[in-house]
Structure 1
Amino acid sequence: MRAMWTAMGAALLLGSAPPLLAQSPPAETATTADRPVETPAGVTVTAPKAWTVRTAPRLVELAAPEGDLKIAVVDIGPSADARAFFDQ
């Protein structure tokens, strides 16, 4: 009986894994000068010189050259204001 439940649990976990694994890894580049980076929604942030920029669907991540700081800009979709977003 325990083997059956273990097999069912593994099947459920593995059944949801392929979409996660199929996603392409984020693109990563190091900046040589301050440069604008745009999210898919059109928000523009300036990546400072020598920082690493990772982009993925709905995400731009800026990492300091020292490796001790990361800033993520995430597109959450359209909303009238913050209250409207959290009321969804």
Structure 2
Amino acid sequence: MSGEFNIAETLDVKGATCPMPVVKTKGAIDDLSSGAVLEVLATDSGSMSDLDGWATGADGVEMLEQVEGDGVYRHYVRKTE
């Protein structure tokens, strides 16, 4: 769970639908230092596959974990470069 990560920043994209969670996550990750973890809070169920697909194909990021609870999807993404 998220307790394992030292979260540098939390991005709240609740209410946003595709492609905005990915667009906003990319922008937020770009502003972080290498090794920093971004927590993304979303309500769009599609964010699970959208953010995972983006992280898999993107250079410099790693999807650490995705958790769903109480209608909120939490994504933990590390900047690796």
- TM-score, length-normalised on structure 1? 0.25
- TM-score, length-normalised on structure 2? 0.27
By relative contact order (CA 8 Å, sep 6+), the higher-ranking structure is: 2
Pick the structure with greater CA Rg. 1
